[in-house]
Amino acid sequence: MNSSRASKLDGAVVLGLATLVGIASFLYPFFLPALAGVGVQTARGGIEVPLLFTAIGLLALVLILMQLQESMGGAPASGYPGGTSRHLALLGALVAVDASLRLMPTLLGASPIFLLIMLVGYCYGARFGFLMGALTLLISALITGGLGPWLPYQMLGAGWMGMTAGWLPRWGASGGWRELAMLAAFGALWGFLYGAILNLMEWPYAAPGLQEQAGLYWTPGMSFADTVATYGRYYLTTSLVYDSFRAAANVALVLVLGRPVVRLLDRYRSRFTWRPWVPYEDSEAVPAA
């Protein structure tokens, strides 16, 4: 029990560290130029991108190794399909299936890959969900040739989607339409939130060298209120319609496929979860099924 609690704590620390690294990578253009007293002149693509990619890769590797250590020790974390190393194979299979869905034709921001990221995080927990999201975007980029300086930021956004899905309450068998409505609302929220987060990657560089406020673009020295208001106008102008298709697709896919996929994932979790052995003489104390 102590080792299981320590593993949960370690996993939370690693996830927290990944989140802090991601937040800093998205927001540093807003405070670094202000501290330096200069404007931003070049777009992303410098040394910060490979450094961020390396940091995400190392953190994901640490999470995988921690999960493998739990499996070898036979002490599963709560919410995980643990007990054996089969759950790592399950993660690989889920990532491969989801990454291949990116080959399907899509309309604007709509994509089927986000459904499985959300539902895997919901069924298997925040750590598993983060790995599902980050690795899905990585493998799908390798398949489709979508490699570029945007990839580590996409991995973070998808990883956070899966991670926060693991924080949703489980309704169980009594959830019914309430569970489906909750997942649909979560999918709609992340349809917009994913785009809003990814926009932060490029927004500070949309008008390089700009020294005075020009309605939609960020400039060094802007107050917090001006930054929020300006970004709100930028998002409404450039991304709202695009992200609306993603949100609508998430809702539609959850309503159509959410329940059977959740049942399937729960079935695999119950098969892979470690259960203590009950001696025969103590079987009378165990309530009959």
Q: Domain of 181: which CATH number? A: 1.10.1760.20
Q: What would the pLDDT profile of 41-98 be if each residue is shown by its tens digit?
A: 455 555 555 666 667 666 766 766 565 555 444 444 444 454 456 777 888 899 999 9
- Helix, coil or strand: residue 161: helix
Q: Quick one: pLDDT at residue 169?
A: 92
CB-neighbour burial class of residue 255 (10 A; exposed 0-12, middle 13-18, buried 19+): middle
According to the model, what pLDDT value does residue 19 have? 79
Tokens of 137: 């975007």
Residue 86 in domain: yes
Query: Residue 213 — φ and ψ, nearest 5°?
Result: -65, 135
Is 11 part of any domain? yes
CA atoms within 13 A on the CB side of 166: 23
Let me know: does 94 contact 133? Beta carbons within 8 Å. no
pLDDT value for 252: 96
pLDDT at 241: 92
Of the candidates 45, 16, 10, 39, the one whose C-alpha atom is nearest the C-alpha of residue 153 is: 45
Residue 208's pLDDT is what?
A: 63
Q: Are 63 and 83 in contact (CB under 8 A)?
A: no
In which residue ranges of the chain is pLDDT below 50? Answer: 1, 34-41, 71-80, 82-83, 283, 286, 289
In a domain, 46, yes or no: yes
The DSSP letter of residue 273 is S
- What the block records as the tokens of 15 is 């996830």
**Residue 123 token pair:** 């069924």
Domain count, the chain: 1
Is residue 82 a part of any domain in this protein?
A: yes
Q: What pLDDT sits at residue 84?
A: 52
Residue 281 lies in a domain: no
CB 168 within 8 A of CB 182: yes
Tokens found for residue 33? 């130029």
For the question of whether the overall pTM of this predicted structure is more than 0.85, the answer is no
Write down the pLDDT at residue 72.
Answer: 42
Q: Which domain holds residue 67?
A: 2-273
Judge whether 133 and 163 are in contact, CB under 8 Å: yes
